[in-house]
Amino acid sequence: MRLASSVCLVLFGALAAFAQTQDNTVSLDDLVFSAEQWAYDNLDEDLLRVLQPADRDKVKAALAQFQKQFHGEYVLDLAGLKDLARAVLPLLEQYEETFPYALWLKTRLDYLEVADQFRLIIPAPKAEPGRTPPPIPNPSPQKEREIWITKLKERSYPPSARPYVGQLKSVFVSERVPPELVWIAEVESSFDPRARSPAGAAGLFQLMPATAQRFGLRSSWPWDQRLKPEPSARAAAQYLSFLHGKFKDWRLALAAYNAGEGTVQDLLTRRKAHSYDAIARELPAETQMYVPKVEATLLRREGVRLAELRLK
């Protein structure tokens, strides 16, 4: 209990600091209040019931902020989440019920670290006198690819992948999808099928309930097939095959896998564009990180680039 109390104090400070960096008029109470409806709609109360009420409110507020910023416009805004993530992780890791959220968050710490790197190297735009400074622009897709290749070039083979890679590659091949794409599971869940996002995605490939059901999986407890490696891999492969058939490009397919096919199609239509790079800077912040991280992961694990992938 003493550990939970001390972590709670750190989390309180991190939330308050995050609120101040975003908007001087936003208080911790505002964050907690604004998180309540989102948490009611998305978070599994059965998983959070083990937390003390005060901790539960702060965890809800923190998870709501992660979701908000991951779906926000600006990559560099993710850098401000680092302290918040460090504060909330110990609370989530304490209990078996909340550990799936911890797994999801730990897998995304890379995004916060890379955003912090960009914050240091991208110059802030000049502010005009008497006007609010404009936001720092998003990095170019090429710069994203470069920084992710550098970040992952020394990353060792994840031990958690060993039981799965061979089996899941066979599933992808049977669905006529490049087997190298099984490494999406490293980016999504660090190859831990217990991972669960605050928005309700679950399993190795972080399938949302609607996507799972679309490809024939049950997603309700205790028969959630997203938590089973082979069924979830088959559904993920079928979805990737569909997305590639729709967009004819693996970068766009991955962007749609992360952000939703409607988001990608709307941007392509509005910009009269046909490539990922043409819309990348307008995609959600997480997606701008996700696509080049998948690319860099495939290069690190398989020595192949997305452009070299071939349907089987």
Note the pLDDT of residue 126.
81
pLDDT per residue over 73-89, tens digit each?
A: 999 999 999 999 999 99
Alpha helices in the chain (DSSP H): 2-22, 28-42, 45-48, 53-70, 82-93, 99-107, 109-121, 141-152, 165-174, 184-189, 209-214, 229-247, 250-259, 261-271, 276-279, 285-302
**Which residues are designated catalytic?**
188
Note the pLDDT of residue 15.
45
Note the pLDDT of residue 76.
95
Note the pLDDT of residue 26.
41
CA distance 74 to 86: 21
Note the pLDDT of residue 46.
67
Note the pLDDT of residue 41.
52
Type of residue numbered 192: D
Cα dist. 118→79, 122, 250, 289 in Å? 9, 6, 25, 11
Tell me the pTM. 0.86
Note the pLDDT of residue 43.
67
Note the pLDDT of residue 283.
98
In the chain, which residues fall in CATH 1.10.530.10?
Answer: 141-308
pLDDT per residue over 22-75, tens digit each?
A: 443 444 444 444 444 544 455 666 677 888 888 888 889 999 999 999 999 999
Is there a contact between 175 and 230 (Cβ–Cβ < 8 Å)? no
Note the pLDDT of residue 47.
72
Note the pLDDT of residue 94.
93
Helix axes 82-93, 109-121, angle to 10 degrees: 170
Nearest alpha-carbon partner for 199 in 190, 191, 209: 209
Q: How does pLDDT run along the chain (312 residues), one tens digit per residue?
A: 444 444 444 444 454 444 444 443 444 444 444 444 544 455 666 677 888 888 888 889 999 999 999 999 999 999 999 999 999 999 999 999 999 999 999 999 999 999 999 999 998 888 788 788 888 899 999 999 999 999 999 999 999 999 999 999 999 999 999 999 999 999 999 999 999 999 999 999 999 999 999 999 998 877 899 999 999 999 999 999 999 999 999 999 999 999 999 999 999 999 999 999 999 999 999 999 999 999 999 999 999 999 999 876
Note the pLDDT of residue 53.
83
| The CATH number of domain 141-308, selected from 3.30.1490.20, 1.10.645.10, 1.10.530.10, 1.25.40.10 | 1.10.530.10
